Structure 1
Amino acid sequence: MPLTHGILTHRYAHHTKLGRHQVLDARSLEWLHEHRGAVLKPAAHAPRIPVLDQEDLLAQGIAVSQVVAGAKDVDALGSCTGNAGTAAVSVLLDDEQARQAGLDPSSAKGAEEFAIGLYAQA
């Protein structure tokens, strides 16, 4: 292996048919497989909750202090990760399982509160 600028480097062959070059570590390489041309099955997963709004929380009747202990009430949060996680939960669980987990799929306010709580836990 050559020494470049004091750094030991290793060059290896790679194919470019996917238009990108990935450098993977040993753990990732254990999962490497070649696509053999099989037709991929498309899948569409639509969230079963109303569209979530992480702004105008007070107008929605959401008090962050009642969702997250010790938090202050604010009118907007950057909790898009919590919103995305909540949408994923609504896809993975049926309505009864979602309710058992604390997510009411029929309530925009309840779903946004769940998202804020999920984000706080994460």
Structure 2
Amino acid sequence: MGDRRKERKTGLMEIRSVSVGVVAIKSVSTGLYLAMSKKGTLFGSVKYNPSCKFKERIEENGYNTYASLRWKHGGRQMFVSLNGRGKPRRGHKARRRHPSTHFLPMLPS
């Protein structure tokens, strides 16, 4: 899912605003929407649905975090998160302040 190399287009995601503070994230290469299940697992959805909505927050450090608008775990938000190898982590395993949930949106070159 994640890739540190700029020349690879597989990790390129399109972020679209769907309402104030809420976004949909879509893969440019596959056309799938990023979605989160009730258990906090990230997956690709062919169709846009309520599981594809994420609250976008710009953090103090300039990075963005994305929390599921639909699902919570024990009353806590579940965040989009990647481990050190770029693989998705379960939403309830990460917290807003953890670096694995911080993303830096960039314009494609």
> TM-score, with normalisation over the residues of structure 2?
0.24
* Relative contact order, higher structure (CA 8 A, sep 6+): 1
> TM-score, with normalisation over the residues of structure 1?
0.22
Which has the higher Rg, Structure 1 or Structure 2? 1
More strand, by proportion:
2
